[in-house]
Amino acid sequence: MIFIVSFLVVLMLVGAVAASVFRDLISAVIAAALVSLIASILFYFLQAPDVAMAEAAIGAALTTTIFIIAIRRTKRYEE
Amino acid sequence: MRRIISILLLVIVALGISLSLAKIPFGVPKTKVGRHYINEGVKETGATNIVTSVVVSYRGFDTLGEVTVLFIASIGLGAVLSTIGEKTVRKIEPASLVLSTGCRVLFPLILVFGSYIFIHGHLTPGGGFQGGAIIASGFLLIYLGCRERRISRVASKLAESLGGLTFVVIGLLGLVSSGYFLLNFLPKGTANALFSAGIIPIIYIAIGFKVGSELAGIIDNLIEES
């Protein structure tokens, strides 16, 4: 159990760093969605299924979509 | 140089936060009110999901404020986007076979799942916000997969307004019948039954409709304008 959780936390950190490093904004948004998804899994492990559901639906799905739509309207690559 | 200073600042802030958090004992009950919710919540509200009993019953007024914030955000987004003129009618490429088939098969299932989540909000994990978000993600699938299917804006606005209205009217009914806004005036029934916990399921169904149509409306606004 502790191994799964530590693996997920490390993956989450990688996603968070990647989201801030990527020049391609679409990739950065996907990395941020990964952070949200792992956060929701961790919430589930911490016995907070209500928060996990909200995080998965809003954080991973809807926010990502809104970001992608916004990026499509503006520029895809960061200077 | 600036980078080193910012990293140093970050380290100092992280150290301060971790040192102050280390002083707080982990897992030990720190407030009496949380204990009370856990011990007496099922008896007092009839909802077996304690999170729901806090969100809708003990802190129902805060939830009304939360729903209002979401409503204002949705209205504000619509207002801002409607001022951007020159609607370019782009030719919509048809979605791939996988996506359009998946959309046709999955959309009803997602709707049913979202409704299940908010109808059983007082019994199982989840509730109006989660169910509404799931329903909105179903509508997102419609926009991605089968865009020829239009969603009626009038129906969406109607669901949104009726949801908000139900919430406020039930609160006012509590005020009229017992003297407190949002008081649980209906019989609580037996715990674990679908028809139990008085006004909690009704309010959560209203919130589910409201949140679902609002989030779907936000996506609708953004996709239509882009």
Digit-coded pLDDT (tens) for B1-58? 889 999 999 999 999 999 998 888 877 777 888 888 888 888 888 888 888 888 888 8
**Residue numbers of the domain that contains A32:** 2-73
CB contact under 8 A, B125 and A62: no
Q: How confident is the model at residue B88 (pLDDT cuts 50, 70, 90)?
A: low
| pLDDT score recorded for residue A32 | 92
Searching chain B, which residue's CA lies closest to the CA of residue A46?
B27
In three-state secondary structure terms, B32 is: helix
CB contact under 8 A, A66 and B222: yes
Asked if A5 has any chain B CB less than 8 Å from its own CB, the reply is no
Nearest residue, CB atoms, A50 vs list B130, B222, B225: B130
Nearest residue, CB atoms, B125 vs list A50, A58, A65: A50
- Mutate which: B6, B54, B63, B137, vs A, most A CBs within 10 A: B137
Does residue A19 belong to any structural domain of this protein?
Answer: yes
| pLDDT score recorded for residue B24 | 83
B75-84 pLDDT, tens digit each: 888 888 877 6
Nearest to B132 by CA among B213, B66, B54: B213
Nearest residue, CB atoms, B140 vs list A53, A65, A73: A65
Does residue A64 belong to any structural domain of this protein?
Answer: yes
What's phi and psi for A24, nearest 5 deg? -80, 115
Does residue A79 belong to any structural domain of this protein?
Answer: no
Does residue A78 belong to any structural domain of this protein?
Answer: no
B149-188 pLDDT, tens digit each: 777 888 888 988 898 898 889 888 888 888 888 788 887 7
- Cβ within 8 Å of A, B 58-117: 117
CB contact under 8 A, B219 and A66: yes
Span A49-76, mean pLDDT?
A: 88
Does residue A24 belong to any structural domain of this protein?
Answer: yes
Searching chain B, which residue's CA lies closest to the CA of residue A60?
B137
Compute the count of residue pairs across chains A and B with CB atoms less than 8 Å apart: 46
What's phi and psi for B87, nearest 5 deg? -75, 110
Per-residue b/e over B15-29, b at no fewer than 16 CB within 10 Å? eeeeeeeeeeeeeee
Shortest CA gap A20–chain B (Å): 15
Overall pTM > 0.90:
no
d(CA B116, CA B103): 19
| pLDDT score recorded for residue B90 | 59
Q: DSSP per residue over B79-134, as a string?
A: HHHHHS-----PPPPPPPHHHHHHHHHHHHHHHHHHHHHHHTTTTSS--HHHHHHH
Nearest to A26 by CA among A59, A63, A74, A67: A67
Does residue A67 belong to any structural domain of this protein?
Answer: yes
| Domain count along chain A | 1
- Cβ within 8 Å of A, B 125-164: 125-127, 129-130, 133-134, 136-137, 140
| pLDDT score recorded for residue B178 | 81
Structure tokens at B104: 């046709």
Does residue A17 belong to any structural domain of this protein?
Answer: yes
Asked if A21 has any chain B CB less than 8 Å from its own CB, the reply is no
Structure tokens at A8: 């997920």
A21-45 pLDDT, tens digit each: 988 999 999 999 999 999 999 999 9
Shortest CA gap B179–chain A (Å): 31
Searching chain A, which residue's CA lies closest to the CA of residue B216?
A62
Nearest residue, CB atoms, A57 vs list B49, B133, B222: B133
